[in-house]
Amino acid sequence: MQKRLFAEFLGTFWLVFGGCGSAVLAAAFPDVGIGLLGVSFAFGLTVLTMAYAVGGISGGHFNPAVSVGLFVAGRLEGKALLPYIVVQVIGAIVASALLYVVASGKADFSLSGGFASNGYGEHSPGGYSLTAALVIEVVLTFMFIMIILGATHGRVPVGFAPIAIGLALTLIHLISIPVTNTSVNPARSTGPALFVGGWALQQLWLFWLAPIVGAIIAGVTHKALLED
């Protein structure tokens, strides 16, 4: 279990440091910024690379919603659920702390830019409402968990799951960065929010509730309709 938990910590750390780091450090860098497309691929690549690196040890969740969805679907034992979630959140916080150290090394850095936090209403990149944010996060987390459950099923050729999962997360970001800055991962939302404080912490509840609801629906749906 210790190896599994460290793998989850490391994978979530990489997801937040790589994904949020791309948004904070590189998205709008003068003249050569990677933009929305680049950030989307960065998040997908973090999951793809760490799924290959440590997925064979822990299952490669790196996300409390994924752990909940797999638990509901019968793919994760109950005793591992809470420890997985705890180390995932810790990994996200450590990544955010180190990212803050790097980002604050620039003279004009300010947390007022959001530090890659998720938000709705006036804190949505595109000004989308609470309802829009709730719907997009539930739907996209549902689809993400369905893809994970399908790609890791015994009927699927071994070794290709990380590719499908990484590309799914890329697609999810391409869809929803304008709406919420894309969460589908409560740990990813928690790390940056702790540093921004204020509005980011006040809105954090949504980015726990919506992904967990979407994950539960996916776990139930897959187990009832698609499992042998």
* Amino acid occupying residue 160: F
Looking at the structure of the chain, the number of domains it has is 1
In sequence order, which ranges of 22-118 are alpha helices (DSSP H)?
A: 35-58, 64-72, 78-103
CA distance 124 to 121: 5
What is the predicted pLDDT for the residue at 29? 67
pTM: 0.94
Q: List, for residues 29-46, the tens digit of each pLDDT value.
A: 667 788 999 999 999 999
Per-position DSSP letters for 204-224, written without gaps between them:
TTHHHHHHHHHHHHHHHHIII
What is the predicted pLDDT for the residue at 112? 86
| Sign of the CA dihedral with 89 first, then 218, 202, and 182 last | positive
More confident residue, 51 or 154: 51
pLDDT over threshold 80, residue 51: yes
**Reported confidence tier of residue 65, pLDDT bands at 50, 70, 90:** very high
Q: List, for residues 103-114, the tens digit of each pLDDT value.
A: 999 988 999 889
User: Which CATH number do you get for residue 115?
Assistant: 1.20.1080.10
Q: Which of 215, 35, 52, 203 is nearest to 117 (CA)?
A: 203
User: What range defines the domain where residue 131 resides?
Assistant: 2-226
Summarize the confidence of residues 51-64 as an average pLDDT. 95
Kindly tell me the burial class for residue 108, based on how many C-beta atoms sit within 10 Å of its own C-beta (0-12, 13-18, 19 or more): exposed
Torsion angles phi and psi, residue 71, rounded to 5: -65, -45
